A and B are shown apart, each in its own frame.
Chain A
């Protein structure tokens, strides 16, 4: 099945709108304004891109809208501070969890609190370990789906290196194993079976090495 010319126009229109919105967010440092531009852009671009699927019926349009909604939420949560509900910002990383327009305000004035067991000012320990779970799952899925291909080996090595580095830092900085994120560690271990358990084994070895280097 190929798309019709009108569908292409709608899709291109949606993308052009999105690009314009993206350019606009680059022109301002005011988070409130960026947030409005971001959501308005998605609000306008999503129907256009979704309607480009009308040739396949309204169900397809609904799938397109859902994809746009999920993508906009996912991106906003992971990479921005644009999700603000009831005055509270919901975001993935710790360093983005700051009040709007706080770019030039010092941390002490904001009264920012970072948990003791957080991974720097980047992720809380639970989020960091759920992230590890996600990338181990991704690498394991590639391994199961593709078999021993270069992509599988590369993915396995990548997550193993990430797990080993994490282990070394945890040990070196005298944190308990997996910073007490036992559920995530268990999931990582189970998910790493297709990867020959390399990530958890290397985590444990590097953790011991980190302890000795203290």
Chain B
């Protein structure tokens, strides 16, 4: 592209973003490397039935989109990675096969994104060249230099083209980021973290860079305090141990010889520490799990400590084992929530691809309401929020807070019978009390208040808890609200009924 009158930096500034830079980030990914790693996992696994079909399908997508040019080149040692998965992670052959499908899915999605991004840039450059040529021709025909006002309409067209390209590439990147997040969570749920493809996935985010940033934040504030505490001597306190652990993590991240996995895990711990100290609700909630990051970090910090200490049912873990264990649990919850949402959308009549696209976008933080409006599928999406279980406006609970849909149904089934028996028992007790001389108004007023209050409180607190905390909150709200308002209803009913006894 040879532009004589249009200036790219000006167009970028006016458009509000740089499509060439966005494309460069995407093109830095290496789908060929990821595909080869997928092949290695595929060869090491046992691929049958549906898994085999999914792999072939993803492979076809990859082959159709890949331009046989990889990005900056971060070669992955496939056999080392397979060996690590076998010896350290102890994955079985079925897990290998499932991971191969996920890796091939990432390779295919990245190749497709690279292709569409390259096409968008190609089309943009052709259009800009055409506009630039038009300006040149006009100047030549008129034989005079155009002033700025003459050029403005053509420049505006060029700016709009840059905006369009930015939007197209942005949408593609968002879709890819959704795929990457979903498939990475799925692999992590199987016990495999995708550190090996971190430099090849073209998402512009690198775990080591993230950890380095966490270490820099820590060094800017807390590090000196921790150092002073550890050096102060005296009896070892829990605070001192925690400070010492943070200094150890900082040393790991800043050690050039440290393994990337160790750096990532140490970075996660330091990040949890810093996030836990932020005000609750000050950070945007996780779009999939719905957790407040500050609270999540607090919970993770506590679990980290407990897992390292061990318990009667779980032997002590190393810091890295504990962090990796928590990551895996979260990934399972994330993967589970995504899969359930996709299934629910399919139940609402959406095609699998359509459902997956919507969930990918939602998992990137696009509000359900906007998605519903934009995709003109408001009815199924609004219906989703009414479904029992793990779906409620994208809010979900962490594994240690989760009441699965099956658990809720089981609890509901038991509760139904117990509630029926309980209500009958309450009538029996009231009858017996009255028979033994209790006043009729207070007795039966209390009975009605208790029966009504329990249900009313359960419904009220269930809705409030569900709105604030998702299904877990709804469940706890229903139980606690039922009990407390039931007691209040009984007292209120007794007081009201007693008026009839006077």
Contacts and interface: CB of A to CB of B under 8 A. Distances in A.
B348 interface: yes
Nearest to A53: B435
Contacts of B293: none
Given A3-B436, A138-B493, A166-B464, A108 B348 contact: yes
Contacts of B379: 108
Given A56-B435, A78-B455, A137 B421 contact: no
Given A21-B420, A112-B383, A52 B431 contact: yes
Contact of B455 (A38, A70, A79, A128): A79
Contacts of A26: 413-414, 416-417
Contact of B417 (A25, A128, A134, A151): A25
For B348, B380, B432, B460, the residue with the greatest tally of chain A CB atoms inside 10 Å of its CB is B460
Interface size class of A (residues with CB under 8 A): 35 or more
Nearest to B444: A67
Given A38-B420, A135-B460, A142 B432 contact: no
B178 to A, nearest CB: 24
A169 B489 CA distance: 24
A89 B222 CA distance: 62
B11 interface: no
Contacts of B427: 49, 67-68, 71
B496 A108 contact: no
Interface stretch (B44-52, B205-213, B261-269, B446-454): B446-454
Contacts of B496: 137-138, 141
A155 interface: yes
A131 B452 CA distance: 9
B219 interface: no
Contact of B416 (A80, A92, A162): A80
Chain B interface SS verdict (over half): helix
Contact of B348 (A21, A29, A106, A146): A106
Contacts of B380: 108
Given A145-B495, A166-B464, A92 B455 contact: yes
Nearest to B346: A106
A18 B430 contact: no
Contacts of B451: 71, 74-75, 78
Interface in A32-70: 34, 38, 41-42, 45, 49-50, 52-53, 55-56, 60, 63-64, 67-68, 70
A65 B361 CA distance: 58
Interface residues of B, number: 63
Contacts of A135: 453, 456-457, 460, 485, 488-489, 492
Interface of A: 1-3, 7, 11, 14-15, 18-19, 21-23, 25-26, 29, 34, 38, 41-42, 45, 49-50, 52-53, 55-56, 60, 63-64, 67-68, 70-72, 74-75, 78-80, 92-93, 95, 106-108, 112, 114, 119-123, 128, 131-132, 134-135, 137-142, 144-146, 151, 154-155, 158-159, 162, 165-166, 169
14 contacts: A1-B437, A22-B417, A41-B424, A42-B424, A64-B434, A68-B427, A71-B423, A72-B423, A79-B455, A80-B416, A138-B491, A139-B492, A141-B493, A142-B492
Interface of B: 347-349, 379-380, 383, 385-388, 413-414, 416-421, 423-428, 430-432, 434-437, 440, 444, 447-449, 451-457, 459-464, 466-468, 484-485, 488-489, 491-496, 498
